[in-house]
Amino acid sequence: MTDQNQTLPAQGSEPIKQGEQPGANNNNQTMESLLNEQELNIDLPQAGEIRKGHIASISPSQILISIGAKSEGVVSGKELEQLSAKEREALQVGQEVYVYVLSAEDSNGNVVLSLKRAQDEISWEKVEKHLEENSVIDSKIIGFNKGGLIASVEGLRGFIPSSQVSALRRMQSTGETPEQRWQKMVGEPISVRVIEVDRERRRLILSEKAASPETRQSIKERVLEELQEGEVYTGRVTSIANFGAFININGADGLVHLSEISWEHIEHPREALEVGQEVKVKVINIDREKKRIGLSIRALQEDPWKARLSKYSVGQLVEGVITRLTKFGAFARLEGDIEGLIHISEISENRIEHPREVLKEGDVKTLRVIRIDPEQRRIGLSLRKVDSAAFADKDFKLMTAELDAFEHPESPQPPDEDQPNAESEA
């Protein structure tokens, strides 16, 4: 009979030689091979991987989770503190959870796990998939900042820039501050698409406009039909570029070109406008075929040139500084940024090929105003008509009026009479 405590040779192993003590050297080899085999069968955790496990126990200081390793993993310390009270209350023994392996073995031999990090990594994987599939996600507005709205997607905070908020929602956003524009929308449902994911920077950008392009298109078509050239509307700046600014009017974006922002010279639209600013604009052209709307802000402002030009009249003598010479004439600055053109035909009684034959930059000359065009902001000047007989009577009356005003400061100025036609003189 075989002793029950005696180890039988494994199938396929060498038979025990006569005289050998059963379980001596061969027993050591058998135990070693068993241990090695057991070690190979254990799926050891690796730092950085996400595993599925079951909660083994919960205590105030730690949570033990079975992940199929040699020992249970532990969630404790800072990793435990990252869980909100509500999240901890929802955990139960036996519950299946995902965990992130922070360390395969710490100084105490424990596998260190994180529940929060696992949730985070899974959430980023899900939003990346949403980006790849271009899927529409039903979410909720949970906050805002000065640049736009914040919505929750897969447990992450996603940012919706104001330029990516739908036309209908922008129509509802009125006020000068972010609180006035967005506060009332917190808690409202919103459908969005993921348009940018940067896991390293924790940057998640969403778009409501991209989630409903058909609606946006139909709104623009309706607005294009309703808009009328020459009408004034209140809009909001949605974006700014080097060449101008886009203003949203009732759901459709129109362009205010740089030259239509202000009568004053500006280098960039940001000098006068900012995204989100509410402005009044005038529709100056509509291209319904190309679906383009041309707008103007300066058309609603008083042209400062008209006020400055009111002090000048045709036939008046003025003093100007020659600022530029061109082959067709010379420019003379009268005051500030007001310049007039002396056409080459108005420089000399004699024929000249180029203004430099008579003038040079920096010259101070007495000139005659021969034409004023307030709409085009142009003043025509003449050097050769300074002593023209056609203006002798006007010059005499102006000189008399100036002397009278000097001697009698409070006396009213005589009304100006009809001016001679300066253009008719050769």
Encode the chain (426 residues) as per-residue pLDDT tens digits.
Answer: 444 333 334 333 344 444 444 544 555 555 555 545 555 556 678 888 888 888 888 888 889 988 876 668 898 888 888 888 888 888 999 999 899 998 888 888 788 998 888 988 999 999 999 998 888 999 999 999 989 999 999 989 999 999 898 877 876 676 778 888 888 899 999 999 999 999 889 999 999 988 876 566 777 787 888 888 999 999 888 888 889 999 988 778 899 999 999 988 888 999 999 887 889 999 999 988 888 899 999 999 888 777 778 888 888 889 999 999 999 999 999 887 788 999 999 999 889 999 999 999 999 999 999 998 887 778 999 998 888 766 666 666 666 666 666 666 655 554 444 444 444 333
Please say whether the dihedral angle defined by the alpha carbons of residues 258, 264, 268 and 274, taken in this order, is positive or negative. Answer: negative
- Asked whether 370 and 423 are in contact (CB, 8 A), the reply is yes
Distance CA 201, CA 205 (A): 12
pLDDT of residue 29: 55
Which residues, 6 or more positions from 341, have their beta carbon under 8 angstroms from its beta carbon? 329, 330, 331, 332, 378, 379, 380, 381
Helix (H, G, I), strand (E, B) or coil at 190: strand
For residue 273, what is the DSSP state? -
Distance CA 141, CA 378 (A): 54
Give the fold, CATH level 3, of 50-114.
OB fold (Dihydrolipoamide Acetyltransferase, E2P) (2.40.50)
Q: Which of 273, 272, 271, 275 is nearest to 181 (CA)?
A: 275
- Asked whether 283 and 294 are in contact (CB, 8 A), the reply is yes
How many CB atoms neighbour CB 129 within 10 A?
Answer: 13
pLDDT of residue 279: 92
Where are the chain's structural domains?
50-114, 134-211, 223-300, 305-407
- Asked whether 342 and 329 are in contact (CB, 8 A), the reply is yes
pLDDT of residue 203: 92
CATH 2.40.50.140 fits 305-407, yes or no: yes
Token duo for residue 128:
């990346």
Distance CA 64, CA 46 (A): 17
pLDDT of residue 123: 92
* Antiparallel, parallel or unpaired: β 292-296 and 252-257: parallel
Give the fold, CATH level 3, of 223-300.
OB fold (Dihydrolipoamide Acetyltransferase, E2P) (2.40.50)
Which residues, 6 or more positions from 224, have their beta carbon under 8 angstroms from its beta carbon? 252, 286, 288, 291, 293
Residue with tokens 């600013």: 277
- Superfamily in which the 134-211 domain is placed by CATH: Nucleic acid-binding proteins (2.40.50.140)
List of long-range contacts for 372-378, beta carbons under 8 Å, 24+ apart: 372/309, 372/312, 372/313, 372/314, 374/303, 374/305, 374/306, 374/309, 377/303, 377/305, 378/340, 378/341
Distance CA 9, CA 23 (A): 9
Could you tell me which residues are beta bridge partners of residue 382?
368
**CA 112 remoteness from chain centre:** 42
How many CB atoms neighbour CB 115 within 10 A?
Answer: 23
pLDDT of residue 261: 93
Which residues, 6 or more positions from 421, have their beta carbon under 8 angstroms from its beta carbon? none
- Asked whether 63 and 76 are in contact (CB, 8 A), the reply is yes
